[in-house]
Chain A
Amino acid sequence: MSTFLGMPAARGGSAPDAAAPDTLAGVGRPDDPLHWGASFPDAARTALANQQLRRNLGNATSTIRAKRARVVGEVPDWEELRDAGSALKADVLARLPELLEQLERNVTARGGVVHWARDAAEANRIVADLVRAKGTDEVVKVKSMATQEIGLNEALAEDGIAAVETDLAELIVQLADDMPSHILVPAIHRNRTEIRDIFLERMGDAPPDLTDVPRELAMAARAHLRRKFLSAKVAISGANFAVADTGTLAVVESEGNGRMCLTLPETLITVMGIEKLVPTFDDLEVFLQLLPRSSTGERMNPYTSMWTGVTPGDGPQEFHLVLLDNGRTTVLADEAGRSALHCIRCSACLNVCPVYERVGGHAYGSVYPGPIGAILTPQLTGEKSDLPYASTLCGACYEVCPVKIDIPSILVELRAREVELGGAAPDTSDRVWQAAMKAASFAMADGDRFRRAARVPRVLRAISRHGVIRRLPFPGSLWTRSRDLPEPPRQTFHDWWERRARQARQEDER
């Protein structure tokens, strides 16, 4: 174990607050899904002291990184697909009003009903009213980030409607009264033994001799949800893509719970952020290649469902589409940051992030954790936030992003803005950044993984071009103090990191 950067981390689990025993109970459901929990440094410290959590995260993220690398490596035109995906999303944003209207026309023409929701409360009310009108008090749900973001389940519960999560990981999170800690695998912070214990304690109908073999756990979930699928009257889903020129919606999934929800109930309600559009049906050929390989590391996910309005005699005969703003137009107004709306929620940036890997999703205090969460969360809420400091700017996220979102540059932009606005107090941002660096030092010590990351010079060029600042805000200031900006430095972040590490080691030895 190296004491990298001379910052000996509390890795041994000997920190005072490390004593908390592993517990099944989750973190509870917060009032604001985009802003909850302890501050990043405090949450990160607790997370770093939790050996079980670090092991779970380390195993899971290294597995998925390897799988992704393998299946991306076999696609000869991966970079061309990324270029197309990025350009398509930019085009969608540039033409958003006309494409939204086109989508609405096409969904309506095929028997669907389109609703518009300015914010979370409005979306929740629309959905609750629709469910109540169907005279049911239980709905089945397909995993959806949009409904997590608006706290739909809690809002429905207040109206006496039980929303049953049917995605295995969402079910685990729901049973444990927990929050998701990953975009794709919300229960990534749980290992198989913890999942078994949660099922035994809280599922109600788990076989008493249930073991922690993943296959058995999956079978227990199948048995538990079967009756609900077969009898549900209303289902609620998100959408991965909505095709403007045909009105087609697409949901990408693995287990078949999505198909169950999208096919069997009489009524389907889909809640979707307004940025989820693609212009034409053929454009799906780009995203159906980018998304599965980036997210689960599969050549294709087991099931993708596409539907266009209502198909007489097949599937739900009543279809509602709720188009959600909830801060997205604010993000759109920010030219430097709007590309965050390109995100297709693949979670690749989380899996490669040296900070996320160590602190986990809960430390970010948002349903959107990791690199994308560090930009999107403050962008959506418009609130002052320390999250832009919860990154080392190593650039690994940009390397893997299938739609080429330049997360490091947006992070720096957001930091600069905080500084200009007199936002985050210098000592707070300092604390957040130190926490991030400390967390990352473990993974960054594995030099090969970050060899290619050389993002900061690019970031600096972007900034000096905008003429926003003459000197980078912290931590860039550490790195650039001796330099005369705006000239872009030649030294890469990695070189700088290496040198600091060497110095730190020498100091340690002295």
Chain B
Amino acid sequence: MSDARSEILSRVRDALGAAAPTPARIPRAYRPAGEHAAGSDEVLDLLVDRLEDYRAHVHRVTAAGLPGLLADLLGGTPGRVSGRVPGAAPARGARSAVVVPPGLDPAWLAGLADVDVRADTRDAPLAATELDEVGAVVTAARVAVAETGTIVLDGEPDQGRRAISLVPDVHVCVVRTSQVVQTVPEAVRLLDAHPERPLTWISGPSATSDIELDRVEGVHGPRTLHVVLVR
């Protein structure tokens, strides 16, 4: 074929003219980092403030308190998954099940003996319809950005496939306080070690501003987001 690729590239070259392109100097006077250290109290308080502003539920615990908190959030009987959306379908049996990625620290789940916990792996993934029957997901995170109230998942074994943190209606995301940075550039510089990983940036539960530009939480993604900050 008189191929589109060469034609477009030659159109681009023609459009730019003869001048040899020289890489421009980009003015980067913006802040490469915040004034507070990762994991500092200031940064943590800021993250909590931003997350709550977007109606995420924030919990702060010690490592020892984590299994108990997860048991509280996810434990036991159907319908106990907290943060259930009013008006949402009543819990069916399977909806009390919890999906986890393969590399999640098993100690975190010590309090969930009574709960149907299903592991999802890249080799043996749950189908989307199966995930739809699961009530909640627990993942770790790669990094969090305080100023924007953002958590980033990078698909590593403690975070899992993108689908598991998307289809279940409740996402419990465990973030170590040392993973919380102040600004977006700090997070990007950390993620650029592995840009090939599938990244999901999450800032609050799913939401829409499409009706009169008012933000409404809870559309297709998880309608409830719990962020657990572990010291």
Spell out A's residues near B (CB within 8 Å). 56, 59-60, 63-64, 67, 76-77, 80-81, 83-84, 87-88, 90-91, 93-98, 100-101, 110, 115-118, 122, 166-169, 172, 185, 187-188, 191-192, 195, 214-219, 221-222, 225-226, 229-231, 243, 246, 248, 254-257, 259-260, 262-264, 274, 281-282, 284-286, 288-289, 292, 296, 298-309, 311-315, 323, 325, 329-330, 332-333, 338
How many angstroms from the CA of A301 to the CA of B145 in the assembled complex? 13
Q: Is B12 an interface residue (CB 8 A)?
A: yes
Spell out B's residues near A (CB within 8 Å). 3-5, 7-9, 11-16, 21-31, 50, 54, 87-88, 121-123, 125, 128-129, 132, 145, 147-150, 155, 161-163, 166-167, 184-185, 187-189, 191-192, 195-216, 218-222
Q: A263-B163, A313-B161 are in contact. Are A122 and B149 (CB under 8 A)?
A: no
Residues from chain B with Cβ under 8 Å of A187 in the complex:
210
Chain A CB count within 10 A is highest, among B7, B12, B25, B166, for B12
Residues from chain B with Cβ under 8 Å of A83 in the complex:
27, 29
CB of A425, distance to nearest CB on chain B (Å)? 30
Chain A CB count within 10 A is highest, among B123, B161, B220, for B220
Contact B26 A91 (CB under 8 A): yes
How many angstroms from the CA of A332 to the CA of B200 in the assembled complex? 33
Which residue of chain B has its CB nearest to the CB of A307? Answer: B198
Which residue of chain A has its CB nearest to the CB of B185? Answer: A285
Q: A274-B12, A282-B189, A303-B200 are in contact. Are A222 and B163 (CB under 8 A)?
A: no
Residues from chain B with Cβ under 8 Å of A254 in the complex:
206-209, 219
Residues from chain A with Cβ under 8 Å of B214 in the complex:
63, 214
Q: Beyond A118-B4, A218-B208, A285-B188: 20 further Cβ-contacts under 8 Å?
A: A63-B212, A76-B31, A84-B29, A94-B16, A168-B211, A169-B210, A185-B213, A214-B216, A219-B87, A226-B132, A255-B220, A256-B166, A282-B192, A288-B188, A289-B184, A300-B145, A306-B201, A308-B196, A315-B163, A329-B15
Q: A169-B210, A229-B220, A230-B128 are in contact. Are A87 and B11 (CB under 8 A)?
A: no
Residues from chain B with Cβ under 8 Å of A289 in the complex:
30, 184
Residues from chain B with Cβ under 8 Å of A214 in the complex:
211-212, 214, 216
Contact A87 B21 (CB under 8 A): no
| B30 touches which of A81, A191, A274, A329 (Cβ 8 Å) | A81
Q: A191-B212, A254-B207, A257-B220 are in contact. Are A300 and B12 (CB under 8 A)?
A: no
| A to B CB contacts below 8 Å, 8 in the list | A98-B21, A188-B213, A256-B206, A263-B162, A264-B167, A281-B195, A285-B188, A308-B197
How many angstroms from the CA of A137 to the CA of B24 in the assembled complex? 46
Q: A219-B87, A288-B184, A302-B203 are in contact. Are A64 and B213 (CB under 8 A)?
A: yes
Chain B CB count within 10 A is highest, among A88, A95, A302, A312, for A302
Contact A325 B161 (CB under 8 A): no
How many angstroms from the CA of A296 to the CA of B202 in the assembled complex? 15
Q: A219-B87, A288-B188 are in contact. Are A257 and B219 (CB under 8 A)?
A: yes
Q: A77-B31, A215-B218 are in contact. Are A333 and B132 (CB under 8 A)?
A: no
CB of A460, distance to nearest CB on chain B (Å)? 27
Contact B198 A315 (CB under 8 A): yes
CB of A375, distance to nearest CB on chain B (Å)? 17
Contact B218 A219 (CB under 8 A): yes
Residues from chain A with Cβ under 8 Å of B220 in the complex:
166, 222, 225-226, 229, 255-257, 259-260
Residues from chain B with Cβ under 8 Å of A303 in the complex:
200-203, 206, 221
How many angstroms from the CA of A83 to the CA of B134 in the assembled complex? 46
Contact A255 B219 (CB under 8 A): yes
CB of A435, distance to nearest CB on chain B (Å)? 26
Contact B132 A230 (CB under 8 A): yes
CB of A498, distance to nearest CB on chain B (Å)? 31
Q: A168-B208, A299-B203 are in contact. Are A246 and B195 (CB under 8 A)?
A: yes
Contact A263 B125 (CB under 8 A): no
Residues from chain B with Cβ under 8 Å of A248 in the complex:
195-196
Contact A218 B218 (CB under 8 A): yes
CB of B57, distance to nearest CB on chain A (Å)? 15
**9 nearest interchain CB pairs?**
A256-B221, A313-B122, A256-B220, A333-B15, A300-B148, A255-B219, A304-B201, A256-B206, A329-B11
Contact B29 A296 (CB under 8 A): no
How many angstroms from the CA of A281 to the CA of B206 in the assembled complex? 25
Which residue of chain B has its CB nearest to the CB of A65? Answer: B213
Contact A264 B128 (CB under 8 A): yes
Contact B166 A259 (CB under 8 A): yes
How many angstroms from the CA of A479 to the CA of B211 in the assembled complex? 40
Contact B188 A282 (CB under 8 A): yes
| A84 touches which of B26, B54, B191, B203 (Cβ 8 Å) | B26
Residues from chain B with Cβ under 8 Å of A262 in the complex:
162
